[in-house]
Amino acid sequence: MTDTPIRLLLADDHPVVRAGLRAVLETEPGLVIRAEAATAEAAVARSAQGDIDVVLMDLQFGGGMTGAEATAAITARPDGPRVLVVTTYGTDADTLPAIEAGATGYLLKDAPPEDLAAAVRTAAAGRATLAPTVADRLVNRLRTPGTALTLREIEVLTLVADGLSNRAVAGRLHLTEGTVKSHLARIYPKLGVDSRTSAVAAAGNLGLIRR
């Protein structure tokens, strides 16, 4: 067992959230908060200095780079720090991009303090920690791959839920309108629905997209 402290970077655009994380983690033995970042871009830059072991990363910032994009940039660096996502969002639309980007763990902000500290230590050791609801849905995706929405299908449905037309969705995702329609045609039977409105409602109820 090493006595070397685990050095942390808190990345969240809300000062109150950063203060709350600091208050919880500063009391934990072996954990040291090296820095804070209010933007995803700042988190990427600060984590590159070589003195951070774990970044606690929010997913949504006020603008610019997202937490998932920052996670990808941080984990792409050789010997970069681990990234533990700590967010209020637990839908597949949030978890899948973050995990795909290289996040070591994914925790919701309502987790007990002891779970947060344990997740930090687990992430520092290179092992995964997932919020129970997130883990359950990932297991279900593996058990029933034929009915699970792909990341692209979730992206399409998220934009549909935002009120975008097929043409607007196509423009946003750099697809053809026909491709968007094809995605929707595959989504409907997976969710057991036959319309855009029903698909959005079903996906929201299943925790696939935010509602």
Domain limits, the chain? 6-140, 151-205
End-to-end CA distance of the chain: 45
May I ask the CATH class of domain 151-205? mainly alpha
Whether CATH 3.40.50.300 fits 6-140: no
* Half-sphere exposure (Cβ direction) of 51: Cα atoms closer than 13 Å: 7
This prediction's pTM = 0.82
pLDDT digits over 84-131, tens only? Answer: 999 998 899 999 999 999 999 999 999 999 999 999 999 999 999 999
- CA–CA separation, 197 and 179 (whole Å): 19
Beta bridge partners of 33: 8
Query: Looking at the chain, how many residues does it have?
Result: 211
pLDDT digits over 9-65, tens only? Answer: 999 999 999 999 999 999 999 999 999 999 999 999 999 999 999 999 999 998 789
**Burial of 53 from C-beta contacts in 10 A (0-12 / 13-18 / 19+):** buried
